[in-house]
Amino acid sequence: MHKMKSNIPHLLGYTCTVCQRHYPYEEEMLTCPQCGESGILDIDYDYDVIRQALSRESLRHDHDNSMWRYKALLPLEDRDYKDFLRVGWTPLYPSLRLGHELGVKSLYIKDDGLNPTASLKDRASGVAVAKALELGYDTISCSSTGNAASSCAGNAARAGLKTVIFVPERAPQGKLAQMLVFGARVVSVAGDYRETFNLSKAAIAKYGWYNRNAGINPVMAEGKKTVSLEIAEQLDFKPTDWVAVSVGDGCTIGGVYLGFRDLYELGLIDRLPRILGVQSTGCSPFVDAARDQAPLKPALENTLADSISVGVPRNPVKALRAVSATNGAWIAVPDEAILAAMKKMGEKEGVFGEPAGVTSYAGVEQAVSQGIIKPDETVTCICSGSGLKDVVNALKAAGDPIRSRPDLEELEQTGLFA
Ligand SMILES: *Cc1c(COP(=O)(O)O)cnc(C)c1O
Ligand SMILES: [Zn+2]
């Protein structure tokens, strides 16, 4: 059997996000025993203990340029991370052109495509690998639309752990290639993401692997929150008025909120940024529910932004809370706007995001045009994955090259210099 009791002094326990019951901290408690599957748990921290290990001053002297600089805020036993892949501390670029074009006071781009497996998912996978090692597992499993899987496979490979991955058939080739190269056992499921998730759940229950399914494992959102800790620290603890995030399962946006909440509780920031949750109109269960003020309904999975093509989100409560607790907003953008955003971020800022990576920016554009984001406000846009993951859609966004035989006269006739 795996270890159950933990020895992590800064953890108080869990609170169920649905019924608000408290539970003592116990390893591998995934959901609330009272509420069942929908009872997603929050991890509660003892901020007085954390304050002794982490401050502006301690961070200033910390030369660890990875997300592990915030290990005092993660639900893990203390360990040395030097043999892990270098996750996090990705650049926060001040926009040089797009912010001006948009007409906002300032715009920043957090390029999380620069993580080791090229997406923000590495933040959760790094924590998953650390937790699996802590608990003595030799195999991690997850189901994913692609990035969580390739990220899980890469981070686990580095740690010498095995991975079993479940992906829906439609996962883009770039992501599939990554997981196979990292040596994962990959099951391509003839079905949609919901069916893929359910198969992985059944297999994990049967074979007893460590469960990296971010929707239900509360530890995963804790890894993702490090993106917010970085954004705040990179802005000298004065985060922007808004932070925009692309949303699929809802775990990322939920984590983004947790990071800012932690900093607020620690007194390191004095207000929470407003969180803008962005989806594609082709798959927008959160936006629909917020607009209709109704519970989430299953939505079609009809967007080219595969990483956020999630019809039945697994983390609805944390995602909805991220927006409501920060007085943020939900917005949906059509796929054409996502492709246009991909081209614009590449052309104007030199940042190449995958469709789901740049959906956040497309959402900012629309939020500005609808007056949700005001001209005197500041915005951070999280680019959550690299464009090299999905070159088919990148080429759709970018158009065709100029074609010429190796002949200068023909080159001139192409209109290259027009
Ligand atoms: C997973 C993912 C998201 C959305 O995260 P959720 O936790 O599913 O909401 C956004 N962008 C990229 C690139 C992703 O891989
Ligand atoms: Zn509960």
Does the beta carbon of 258 sit less than 6 angstroms from any atom of ligand 1?
Answer: no
Domain carrying residue 186: 119-218
DSSP helix/strand/coil, 345 = helix
Closest-approaching ligand to the CA atom of 33? 2
The residue out of 218, 253, 286 marking a domain boundary is 218
Does the beta carbon of 250 sit less than 6 angstroms from any atom of ligand 1?
Answer: yes
Tell me the pLDDT band of 299, cut-offs 50, 70 and 90: very high
pLDDT the model gives residue 145: 74
Domain count, the chain: 2
Same domain for 336 and 235: yes
Does the beta carbon of 71 sit less than 6 angstroms from any atom of ligand 1?
Answer: no
Same domain for 312 and 193: no
The residue out of 218, 235, 254 marking a domain boundary is 218
pLDDT the model gives residue 144: 85
The reply to whether 61 falls in a domain is no
Backbone angles phi, psi at 137, to 5 degrees: -80, 155
The reply to whether 28 falls in a domain is no
Does the beta carbon of 217 sit less than 6 angstroms from any atom of ligand 1?
Answer: no
| Residue of 40, 115, 117, 120 with the most ligand 1 atoms within 8 Å of its CB, for mutation | 120
Same domain for 147 and 296: no
The per-residue pLDDT for range 52-91, each reduced to its tens digit, is 999 999 999 999 999 999 999 999 999 999 999 999 999 9
Going by the DSSP 8-state scheme, the letter that residue 249 receives in this structure is S
The reply to whether 82 falls in a domain is no
Same domain for 245 and 212: no
Does the beta carbon of 251 sit less than 6 angstroms from any atom of ligand 1?
Answer: yes
Asked whether the beta carbons of 361 and 312 are under 8 A apart, the reply is no
Same domain for 203 and 142: yes
Same domain for 186 and 295: no
Does the beta carbon of 247 sit less than 6 angstroms from any atom of ligand 1?
Answer: yes
CATH code for the domain in which residue 326 is found: 3.40.50.1100
Closest-approaching ligand to the CA atom of 17? 2
The reply to whether 59 falls in a domain is no
Asked whether the beta carbons of 358 and 345 are under 8 A apart, the reply is yes
pTM as predicted = 0.95
Same domain for 187 and 104: no
The reply to whether 155 falls in a domain is yes
Same domain for 393 and 244: yes
Tell me the pLDDT band of 1, cut-offs 50, 70 and 90: very low
The DSSP secondary structure of 108-172, one letter per residue, reads EEEEGGGSTTSBTTHHHHHHHHHHHHHHT-SEEEEE-SSHHHHHHHHHHHHHT-EEEEEEETT--
Same domain for 358 and 235: yes
| Residue of 40, 143, 225, 246 with the most ligand 1 atoms within 8 Å of its CB, for mutation | 246
Asked whether the beta carbons of 278 and 246 are under 8 A apart, the reply is yes
Does the beta carbon of 113 sit less than 6 angstroms from any atom of ligand 1?
Answer: no
Cα 328 to Cα 325: distance, rounded to the nearest angstrom: 8
The residue out of 168, 189, 218 marking a domain boundary is 218
Closest-approaching ligand to the CA atom of 21? 2
The reply to whether 379 falls in a domain is yes
Of 55, 57, 38, 43, the closest CA to residue 11 belongs to: 43
